[in-house]
Homo-oligomer: A and B are copies of this chain.
Amino acid sequence: MGLRERKKAKTRAAIQRHALRLFREQGYGATTVDQIAAAAEISPSTFFRYFATKEATALYDPVDPVFIEAAIGQPAELGPIAALRGAVRVVLGQLSEEEMEDVRQRQLLVFREPELRGAIMDQFAEGIDLIAGVAARRTGRAPDDFEARNWAGAVVGVLLASFARAASDPESDYLVALDQALVHLEAGLPL
């Protein structure tokens, strides 16, 4: 990696770090792009070269692709839910205490700020596609199989409910809740 690439990565990280700090300190809406740019010591023009929107600074999550990899890499004999649970365990196990906290902070922020909540949707729409794909492959179905997509919708919905709950109750251990949610789903969601 040349100097150029390293500098870009550093600039990107600095923008996000300052952005998240400012969001936490003074709220998302009250923070302007100009403030973020000033804090990161770049021009406002440059800000938009790194992040297409202000939202994106809060939404960009380097963990996501890693998680998908892990889900695909789970042993083939596992059912799709077991594979997801395994992936969660593997990925979160690799994160340092500090990284975990960053992930959690960003999730809470995104779920609490109405302006950001909206943007989750796109990620979840992608999530359905990805999870349906993983499930279809594991059960030998076509990638656009109706039941696989339906199932993926339920998985994403369940995760969503867990995140929403975690955001409104910061005390809860959201990893435990998330795992319970998947177990309940695996059992066919009895009520």
Contact = CB atoms under 8 A, between A and B. Distances in A.
A127 to B, nearest CB: 10
A150 B128 CA distance: 17
A120 B117 contact: no
A57 interface: no
Main secondary structure of the interface of A (DSSP, over half): helix
A156 B151 contact: no
A153 B124 CA distance: 13
A149 B122 contact: no
Interface string A127-165: 010001001000101000011111111111111111011
B153 A160 contact: yes
Given A157-B160, A160-B124, A189-B154, A165 B149 contact: yes
Nearest to A55: B118
A149 B160 CA distance: 10
A155 B94 CA distance: 32
Contact of A185 (B122, B128, B139, B154): B154
A150 B158 contact: yes
A96 to B, nearest CB: 30
Nearest to A119: B118
Contact of A184 (B120, B150, B159, B160): B150
Contacts of A155: 157
A114 interface: yes
A181 to B, nearest CB: 5
A187 to B, nearest CB: 8
B128 A117 contact: no
